[in-house]
């Protein structure tokens, strides 16, 4: 009896010690990550086009475009890419990245007519001329970090009684369009995530655009889905790490349910402004969570325990903050906050299911032996996922740049 109690006590000590060390490591990493950048050199992120309607005759749009100018200058087509290394123009991209901020700004100005030809501001069906005002390139970054170029231009003249539609060439990638309010304390009058080549809604020059409930659902489900497929490779690897843990459908359901519940909570809290954590901290921790889950998959040998459930819940809360960073770029409409939030989350879940469901059906059909599965599939795949997670952690902290 005494030996049983001693063994039971030691087991709990081991569990709590392991969990405490994990939390300590995460906290230390968070402190270190505070000085690193969220934007990585080769990652393709949506550009932001924010505009304000100026009614002073003639009516015009005052536009600010934040983009990775190196992508445009290299002639890269990123419409279907998530990483510049996947393009045949990656060498040109790296050469332009090596330019100084002054030289890059000069190149953007010199190539403005070519860029303007790929930006479309339509007013009453007619294209509006664009006039460059200023170019500013972000400075003070590490070599591993992507710099943003801010381009300010004017679209004029506009016919005040006609509506406006904005978009740009699909080769330039995804675009977030926002109509800024003249009151800086107010939320954007209009905000939308546009897939490559997609057009904005019809925007009135005299009043805020009224987006239908159906359009809100469609846009935010799409945004949530594309954040997983194809742009959420880190989230895909985490879900694959959960999937590889066990061939049991019940265990997979437990894990996915805990992960979904947890990231839904922090997604909602962050979107409501209740929880705010910098992406500079969240993104390296997400990468570390991928590595940890993969390593534990090897160590635990498919035995689901409450401490794994606890860790998955904690990591789910972390990933929810990562999802929230996407919504923060273009915001949630106050009038339709709940439908937009739910729709985005549904899109995320559809993306996750699109990864897990086909794999589960294949394994259900093939029914590999436990020994074959562990040696040939589970361990090699988990090692690859863990290695990727550790590499991303180091990369997002600015420790490596390959």
Reported as a single tens digit per residue, the pLDDT across 152-170 is 999 999 988 889 999 999 9
**For position 7, what pLDDT does the model report?**
41
Contact status, residue 285 vs residue 33, Cβ threshold 8 Å: yes
User: Of the spans 112-126, 254-268, 286-300, 325-339, which averages the highest pLDDT?
Assistant: 112-126
C-alpha 96/C-alpha 178 separation (Å) is 28
pLDDT at 41 over 90: no
Per-residue tokens: 209: 């655009």
Mean pLDDT across the chain, nearest whole number? 83
C-alpha 293/C-alpha 236 separation (Å) is 13
**For position 183, what pLDDT does the model report?**
62
**For position 346, what pLDDT does the model report?**
92
User: What confidence tens digit (pLDDT) does each residue in 348-386 have?
Assistant: 999 999 999 999 999 889 888 888 999 999 999 999 999
C-alpha 178/C-alpha 333 separation (Å) is 12
Name the pTM for this structure: 0.69
C-alpha 120/C-alpha 199 separation (Å) is 9
**For position 2, what pLDDT does the model report?**
40
pLDDT at 290 over 50: yes
pLDDT at 23 over 70: no
**For position 135, what pLDDT does the model report?**
97
C-alpha 87/C-alpha 256 separation (Å) is 34
Per-residue tokens: 348: 């995320």
C-alpha 242/C-alpha 300 separation (Å) is 12
pLDDT at 30 over 80: no
Residue 311 or 18, more confident: 311
pLDDT at 32 over 50: no
**For position 188, what pLDDT does the model report?**
67
Q: What band does 302 get if pLDDT is binned at 50, 70 and 90?
A: low
C-alpha 240/C-alpha 242 separation (Å) is 5
Among 231, 145, 146, residue whose Cα is nearest residue 193 = 231
State the average pLDDT over residues 211-223.
Answer: 82
**For position 209, what pLDDT does the model report?**
61
Question: Could you give the percent of the chain with pLDDT greater than 90?
Answer: 44
State the average pLDDT over residues 95-113.
Answer: 96
Spell out the SS3 assignment of the chain. Answer: CHHHHHHHHHHHHHHHHHHHHHHHHHHHHHHHHCCCCCCECCECCCEEEEEEEECCCCEEEEEEEEECHHHHHCCCCCCCCCEHHHCCCHHHHHHHHCCCHHHHHHHHHHCHHHHHCCEEEEECCEECCEEEEEEEECCCCCCCECCCEEEEEEEEEECCCCCEEEEECHHHCCEEEEECCCCCCCCCCEEEEECCCCCCCCECCCCCCCCCHHHHHHHHHHHHHHHHCCCCHHHHHHHHHHHHCCCCHHHHHHHHHHHHHHHHHHHHHHHCCCCCCCHHHHHHHHHHHHHHHHHHHHHHCCCCCHHHHHHHHHHHHHHHHHHHHHHHHHCCCCCCHHHHHHHHHHHHHHHHHHHHHHHHHHHHHHCCCHHHHHHHHHHHHHHHHHHHHHHHHHHHCCCCCC
Residue 303 or 32, more confident: 303
165 DSSP β-pair partners: 122
Residue 231 or 309, more confident: 309
C-alpha 301/C-alpha 379 separation (Å) is 9
**For position 24, what pLDDT does the model report?**
38
Q: Which of 89-98, 124-133, 176-185, 218-227 bottoms out in mean pLDDT, i.e. has the lowest? A: 176-185
C-alpha 87/C-alpha 76 separation (Å) is 7
């Amino acid at each position: 009896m005494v030996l049983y109690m001693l063994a039971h006590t030691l087991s709990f000590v081991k569990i709590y010690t392991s969990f405490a060390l994990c939390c300590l490591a995460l906290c230390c990493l968070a402190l270190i990550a505070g000085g690193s950048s969220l934007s990585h050199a080769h990652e393709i992120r949506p550009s932001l086009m924010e505009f304000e309607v100026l009614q002073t005759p003639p009516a015009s749009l005052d536009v600010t475009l934040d983009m990775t100018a190196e992508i445009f200058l290299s002639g890269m087509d990123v419409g279907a890419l998530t990483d510049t290394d996947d393009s045949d123009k990656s060498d040109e991209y790296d050469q332009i990245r090596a330019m100084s901020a002054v030289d890059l700004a000069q190149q953007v100005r010199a190539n403005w007519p070519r860029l303007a030809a790929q930006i479309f501001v339509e007013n009453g069906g007619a294209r509006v001329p664009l006039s460059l005002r200023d170019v500013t390139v972000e400075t003070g970054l590490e070599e591993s970090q992507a710099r943003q170029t801010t381009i300010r231009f004017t679209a004029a003249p506009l016919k005040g009684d006609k509506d406006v539609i904005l978009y740009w060439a699909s080769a330039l990638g995804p675009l977030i369009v926002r109509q800024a309010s003249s009151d800086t304390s107010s939320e954007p009058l209009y905000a939308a995530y546009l897939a490559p080549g997609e057009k904005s809604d019809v925007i009135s020059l005299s009043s805020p655009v009224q987006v239908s409930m159906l359009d809100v659902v469609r846009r935010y489900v799409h945004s949530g889905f594309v954040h997983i497929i194809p742009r959420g490779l880190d989230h895909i690897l985490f879900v694959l790490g959960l999937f590889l843990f066990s061939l049991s459908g019940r265990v997979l359901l437990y894990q996915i349910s805990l992960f979904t519940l947890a990231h839904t909570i922090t997604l909602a809290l962050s979107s409501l402004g209740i929880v705010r954590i910098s992406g500079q901290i969240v993104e390296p921790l997400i990468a570390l969570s991928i590595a940890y889950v993969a390593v534990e998959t090897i160590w635990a040998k498919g035995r689901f325990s409450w401490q794994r459930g606890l860790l998955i819940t904690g990591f789910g809360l972390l990933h929810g903050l990562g999802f929230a960073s996407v919504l923060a770029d273009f915001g949630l409409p106050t009038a339709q906050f709940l439908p937009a939030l739910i729709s985005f989350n549904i899109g995320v879940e559809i993306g996750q299911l699109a990864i897990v469901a086909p794999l589960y059906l294949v394994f259900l059909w093939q029914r590999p032996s436990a020994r074959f599965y562990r040696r040939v599939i589970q361990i090699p795949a988990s090692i690859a996922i863990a290695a990727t997670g550790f590499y991303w952690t180091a990369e997002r902290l600015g420790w490596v740049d390959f």
